Structure 1
Amino acid sequence: MIDQEALWFNQTSLHKLKDGLLAQFGEFEELSLIDHRLELLNNIIVIPDFWNEVIGAEYSSFPLFADKEEARAELSGHLDPGSETVTAVVLTRNEERSIHRCLQSLLNEVDDIVIIDTGSSDATLSIIESIQSPLIHVHHEEWKDDFSAVRNVGIDKSAGDWIFFIDADEWISRESNGKVKPLIQMFSRFPLKHSLTISPLIVEKDKSSVVGVKRIFHRASGIRFFGDVHEEPRKNEDPTLESQENINIELKVEHDGYQEDILQSKKKIERNISLLQKVRKKEPENPRWIYFLVRDGMERFSADEMEMLFQKGFAFCRVENYQSSKNYTIPLTRLLLQYRFKQKNFKEVYRTAEQLEKYHPEDSDALFFSKLARLFELWEEQKRMLQEVVQFRDGQSGNEYGALHPEGLHIDCLIGALLFETGMYERAKEYFDFLDSQNVMKPVQEMYQQAFSRLREL
C-alpha cells in the first residue's frame, strides 16, 4: 500500500489533483505549490529502482477535501518546503587554487558551511578568512590517510538537518543557483528520507557528467562514510547498501580537479591507488574497491595485474542482480571494454560490447567502442593493402597489354585511393594530379577530387 505522503511525489497524481481542485474551487494561491513541486520533481534525472514502488507507478487519488480551506491547509502542509536547514561540508588541504570559488558559490545556497582542514600549508586558510562570512566555520583535523574519517568529522561538526558534501575543487553551477535548498528540502517529507542519499550532477571540465556520487543525506539518518578513498556513505555500516536508496538530481556541481596537470601536481592517482589497496585489505571481496582500482590504475598496472583485478571483480559481483544501481557488473564491463580497446584487442572488444549490450541494451559505450574498433581494423587493413599494392607496383616491369592500363596507371590510381583512405592526403593529391595530367581513370579521379574539395571546405 502506498504511503499517503508518497502521493505528493507522484507527478501524475499531482497533475490530477490540480485539475480536480481547479474544477472544484477555482484558482487559489496554494495551487502554485503543486506547480513548484512538479518543477522540482522534473530535476530527478535518473528514475531510481525503488521509485515506483514507493510513490506508485500509476495514478493514485488523494483523499477528497471538504472545502477550499481544507485544501489550502493540506497543500501547505505537504508541499511547503518547511524549515529544515542545509549544512555544506568542505574538506580542505592546500586548496588555494579553488577554495574561494567553491565557497563563494555556496554562500547564498546553504545555511552554513563547515570546513574540515587537514593541514593546509599554502594560502587556503587565509583565503577562507578573507571571505569574512559568519556562515563559515573552520575546524582542524589531523590527516590520517582516510577520507571517510575526515568526512565523518564533518558530519559530527554539522548543525544542519541535511548535510551536503562538496569538494574544494567543485562549485555550484550558475545554472543551479537558487536550487540547492529547494531541491534538498523537497525530500524533507519523503517517506524514506532517513534511508536516502542524494547525488548531484557533477559536470567535468570537458562537459562530461557523472551521476551516482552520493553527497547529500539527512543528519538524523545515522549515515556514516566508509573507505579510505572513493569513500561511500553507508547506513548501519551495511556494505551491501540494501538498507538505503539513492536519487540523482539535476543539481549541477562543476568540477575541474581531474585535469591532467592538477592530477600530476597533487599526485592524486598514486595516492588513490595506495589508499584503495589499503581499503581492499579491509573488504577484499567488495567489487567497489576493485572497480576504482581498475579505473584509477589502468595506466599504471601491468597487463597481468589488470587481468587479475577484472577476474576478481566479476567473481565478486552478483551477476544475477546486474540491473541494480548497487551492482558493479555493468560499470566493470564498461571498464573492461575500454581496457580491451586500449589493448587493441578488437576481438575481445566485440565480445565485451556484445555482453554489455545484453546487460544494458543500446548502451552507447558498447556502440562507440565496437564501431571504433571496426574503423581501426579497416584502417589497419587499408594500410596493409597499401603496402601490398606499392610492393606490387615496384615489382612491375614493362607494359601489361590487355590490362585496364598497359603502363599500370590503374595501379597508381589504387595507390592514390589507399593513400587518401589512410589519411596521407598530400601524397594522394600528388597521385591524382598526375593521373589527371594523363587523362586516365576519370571516374575514380572525380570521386576523390570531390573529396579533396570537401576537405578544403573544412
Structure 2
Amino acid sequence: MIEISAIVLAKNEERCIDRCIRSLDRSIFDQIIVVDTGSTDSTARIVEQYVSPRVRLVNQLWPGGFGRARNMAMSLVQRGWVFFVDADECLVANQGEELVNLLEGLQADEDAVNVVVSPWIVDSSGYESPAPGRILLAQGNIAYFGSVHEEPRVKDSTLGTIRSVVSSIRLTHDGYTVEVVQQKNKLQRNSELLHHCLEEEPNHPRWLYEQFRETLWTDPVDLLERRCLRICQGGNGGVAQNLSAESSWYYFLALRDLARRAVRDGEASRIAQSAKRLESLNPSSPDAVYFHFLAIVYPYLWVSGTPSAGSLESFKDLMTHLNQLIKLRRSEMQFEAHSLHPQGANIDALICAYLEVVGMSRRAEEYRSAIAGSWSEPPFEANSIISR
C-alpha cells in the first residue's frame, strides 16, 4: 500500500480554504496538512474546524518564497507521496482510484525518487493546462527552486535526472480572476519574487521567460524582443542552433507569445514573421502550424467588414491551404500538454475561419457544432471570427 499526504499552503485564504479542504477525499489521503504562513484573516480558524488525527494545521513563518515554502512543508512528511494542492484549488471528485493506481505503478519504478507528476489545472474559464510538478515522493530526490513560478529539480544529479509525468488528475482553480488578483495584489507580489529569482540565477531561461511573460501585453514590442533574445543568449552567444534543450523550450514559448501579441495588435506582417521563426525552431509543432496558417488567412478576415477570399486566385489558394490544414488535423497532430490548446481547439477555430472566408459558412457552423473545445483568443471568440 502507498501513502499519500495532501499539503495546502495558505495565507489569507478565507475565501476558499474551506472548499479546498472539503474537496480532499479522506479515503484518498492518509493525512492533510495545511501550512499557514502568516494569515491575518480567518483562515486558521476555518482550518481548525477540520483538525483531527488526519488533518493538521501547521503555523510557519513565510520563508521568503514559494519554493522554500514547498520544501519546508514537504519536510513535515516522513514517507510516501506528497500532493501539493493550492488553497484556491479543488480536487475534482471521483479520482481516488485513478490517483492510487498511478502512484502505485510509479512507486514500483527504479527511478521513483526522480519522478514528479503534474495534474491538470482547470481555470475559471474552462481552460486546462498542466501544473508544474505537484506530486512527488516526500523523501525522494526532488526539491523546489525559485521564489515564484517555482519548479521541481533533482537535488543530487548523480541519482539521475528528473522524470516528469503528466497525469489525467484534475484540479479546478479560480485564483487568477481579475477580482482575486487585485484583492491579493498578486502581480506586484509575483514581480518582487521574480526579481529575487533573477538575482539568484540571472541567466536561467525559466526566470527570463517569466519576466518576459509578465509584461507581454503591456510593454513595447521592441522591449519584448530584447527580452526574448536574452532567453536565447543565456550562455549560447545568441545562436539558436546551440541552445540547450531548456533554453530552446523557453525561447520557443517566448516566440509563440510574441505571435499572440502580434495577433492581439492586429499586425499581419508580425504574425507572418513570428510564424516563420516558430517554424525554424520546431516546424512540426501544432503551435507553429497554427500561426503559419493564421498568417496566410489573416489578411482576408476583414475585407469590407466581413470575411472574404476576394479574387478567384485568392479563393483557390485559400482552398488549397484549407485542405492542407484539414489533412494535418486529421493526421492526429501531436498536441502536447503545453500546446496553445492541448486538444487543438485553436486549430479547429482556424479551420472554421477558413471555411467562412471561402464562403462556406454553413460548413463552418456544422464543424463548430461538432467540436468539443472552444478557442476565444484573438482573432476568434468561441471559435468565430471577432469583428474589428
Does TM-score exceed 0.5, indicating one fold? yes
Gaps of 5+ in 1: 1-82, 384-447
Give the CA deviation at 1:229.
0.2
Give the CA deviation at 1:175.
5.0
- Counterpart in 1 of 2:14? 96
Q: Letter of the aligned partner of 2:250 in structure 1? A: Y
Work out which of the residue numbers 27, 40, 43 in structure 2 matches 1:108: 27
Give the structure with higher Rg (CA): 1
- Counterpart in 1 of 2:42? 123
Question: Are 1:229 and 2:148 matched, yes or no?
Answer: yes
Give the CA deviation at 1:246.
0.7
Going from structure 1 to structure 2, the CA distance change for 1:164 and 1:360 (only over 3 Å counts) comes to same
**SS state at 2:75 partner:** helix
Task: Supply the distance in 2 between the matched residues of 1:262 and 1:317 (Cα, whole angstroms).
Answer: 38
TM-score, length-scaled by structure 1: 0.60
Aligned pairs for 1:17-28 within 5 A: none
Give the CA deviation at 1:189.
0.6
- Counterpart in 1 of 2:197? 279
**SS state at 1:137 partner:** strand
* Residues 136-185 of structure 1, C-alpha deviations (whole Å, 9 max, x = no match): 11111222431111111111111331111111111111252443333222
Work out which of the residue numbers 312, 336, 349 in structure 1 matches 2:230: 312
Q: Letter of the aligned partner of 1:277 in structure 2? A: H
Question: Are 1:344 and 2:262 matched, yes or no?
Answer: no
Q: Letter of the aligned partner of 1:141 in structure 2? A: Q
- Counterpart in 2 of 1:399? none
Going from structure 1 to structure 2, the CA distance change for 1:237 and 1:287 (only over 3 Å counts) comes to farther
Give the CA deviation at 1:128.
0.9
- Counterpart in 1 of 2:312? none
Q: Letter of the aligned partner of 1:165 in structure 2? A: F
Q: Letter of the aligned partner of 2:162 in structure 1? A: Q
Going from structure 1 to structure 2, the CA distance change for 1:300 and 1:271 (only over 3 Å counts) comes to farther
Q: Letter of the aligned partner of 1:273 in structure 2? A: S
Task: Supply the distance in 2 between the matched residues of 1:291 and 1:314 (Cα, whole angstroms).
Answer: 10
CA contact (8 A) 1:314 1:332 kept: no
Going from structure 1 to structure 2, the CA distance change for 1:273 and 1:237 (only over 3 Å counts) comes to farther
Give the CA deviation at 1:118.
0.9
**SS state at 1:306 partner:** helix
**More helix per residue: 1 or 2?**
1
Question: Are 1:333 and 2:251 matched, yes or no?
Answer: no
118-127 vs 300-309, which moves further: 300-309
Question: Are 1:263 and 2:181 matched, yes or no?
Answer: yes
**SS state at 1:331 partner:** helix
- The alignment-based identity, stated in percent, is 28
CA contact (8 A) 1:294 1:306 kept: yes
Q: Letter of the aligned partner of 1:156 in structure 2? A: S
Going from structure 1 to structure 2, the CA distance change for 1:258 and 1:369 (only over 3 Å counts) comes to farther
Count of aligned pairs between the two proteins: 305
Q: Letter of the aligned partner of 1:217 in structure 2? A: L
- Counterpart in 1 of 2:161? 243
- Counterpart in 2 of 1:135? 54
Aligned pairs for 1:82-231 within 5 A: 83-106=1-24, 107-174=26-93, 176-211=95-130, 213-231=132-150
* Residues 309-339 of structure 1, C-alpha deviations (whole Å, 9 max, x = no match): 1110122287458795783233222222212
**SS state at 1:353 partner:** helix
Q: Letter of the aligned partner of 2:199 in structure 1? A: K
Going from structure 1 to structure 2, the CA distance change for 1:261 and 1:375 (only over 3 Å counts) comes to farther
- Counterpart in 1 of 2:377? none
Going from structure 1 to structure 2, the CA distance change for 1:313 and 1:288 (only over 3 Å counts) comes to same
Give the CA deviation at 1:370.
5.0
Gaps of 5+ in 2: 306-358, 366-383
